[in-house]
Amino acid sequence: MSLMRDKINCGIMYEKRKKFINLFSLLSNRDCVARLKILLGDEVSQIVNYYDPQGFKILNKISSGASVLVYNVCWKDTSKFVIKKFIGNSNEEAIINEIHLTGLVNLHPNIIQFYGVTNLKDETNYSLVLEYAEDTIKLADFGRSCLKGSDSNTEVRGVIPYMDPKFFETQNHSYVLTEKSDIYSLGVLLWELTSCKSPFDFETKNNNYLEIIKIKSDILNGKRERPISGTNYNFVTLYKKCWQHEPDERPDIRQVISEINNIENISNDFKIEKIEKIEIVTTEKLENEDVDFPSCDDCDINSDKYNS
C-alpha cells in the first residue's frame, strides 16, 4: 500500500517521496495472523501486529467524533478489545503518527495499550486495535500530539474551553502554546472529572455562534467553572492554580503530580491512586473524541466561527 506524505507531526521530517506499508510473514500466533512493517523510504521504522478483521465481532459503539469511531469488540469470542476507526478527514500521516507515538509509551501503566491494526469492512485506512480498559481511567489518542522538543510547525486546533486563554489575546492567534498551556487544559480536565460535565456546557453550544463568542469572551475576562460541591478543597485549589490566566502562575506537571499524591480522596465519589511515575509529552494539538463532543477537527479556532 503506497502512502503519500511530506511530514509526520512527531518531529520526524521526511523527504517528499513515497512510503510503503507492506504486509509480510504470516505467523502461527493465534492472536494476530500477520505482521506489518512500516517502511519510511528504504528503512523499517516499526513492526506492528495485524489482526484479521474476520476475527472481530463488534459489540457496540462507545465513542464518536468528527474523525474517529470507537467500538467495543470481541476477538474470536475470547478477548475484549477496542477498535479506533478513522473516518472523515483522517489521513495516513495522522494514523502513522499515532501508531508511532503510542508505541513509544506503550508500556506505561496509565496509557491505553496499543496491540496492532486491522482493516474493517469497506475501510481504506487502518484501524487501531487497543486495550479495553474497564473501570479505570487511562490516556489515549495521540493523533495530534508531538514529542517534546520536536521541530513541528503545525496549525493550532482545539476546543475553546480547554485552550490557554493567552492564545486568544494575540493578534491572528500568534501566541505559541507551551507546557504551561497544557497545564491550563489539565486544570479544566480536573474540574471535569468531578463535574462529569462539559465546561461552560460547550458540548451543546458548539454550533451557536453567539454562545461561542460569549464563552470565549468570558474566559478571557477571567470566568472559570464553579467547583462542584463536596470536592476536596486541596483538589479545587490545585485545578484553580492550573487555570490561572498568566502561565507563570500555573504549576508545572511535577508540582501537579506531587499535590495529587497528597490528596487521598477527590470527593466522596472519586478516589485516586498514587502516581508513581510520569512521562512528559508536550502537545501542540489536542483532539477530543468523547461521545458526540466536538473534536479539534471541528474546532479550528482560526475560522470565522470562533472569532468576533
What residue ranges do the domains of the chain occupy?
A: 2-131, 160-306
Contact 146, 283 (CB under 8 A): yes
pLDDT attached to residue 104: 73
Fold equal for 2-131 and 160-306: no
pLDDT attached to residue 295: 45
pLDDT attached to residue 180: 92
Q: SS3 for 74?
A: strand
Weakly modelled stretches of the chain, pLDDT under 50 = 1-30, 153, 274, 276-308
What is each CA distance from 202 to 135, 164, 188, 245, 284, in whole angstroms? 26, 16, 12, 20, 21
pLDDT attached to residue 186: 92
How many whole angstroms separate alpha carbon 215 and alpha carbon 292?
Answer: 19
Q: What is the domain class of 2-131 according to CATH? A: alpha beta
Q: What is the CATH number of domain 160-306?
A: 1.10.510.10
pLDDT attached to residue 151: 54
pLDDT digits (tens, 9 = 90+) for 157-175: 668 888 889 888 876 666 7
As a dihedral over the C-alpha atoms of residue 98, residue 101, residue 102, residue 106, rounded to 10 degrees, the angle is 170
pLDDT attached to residue 262: 87
Residue 73: beta bridge partners?
A: 58, 81
pLDDT attached to residue 290: 40
Q: Which is nearest to 163 in space by CA: 300, 7, 20?
A: 300
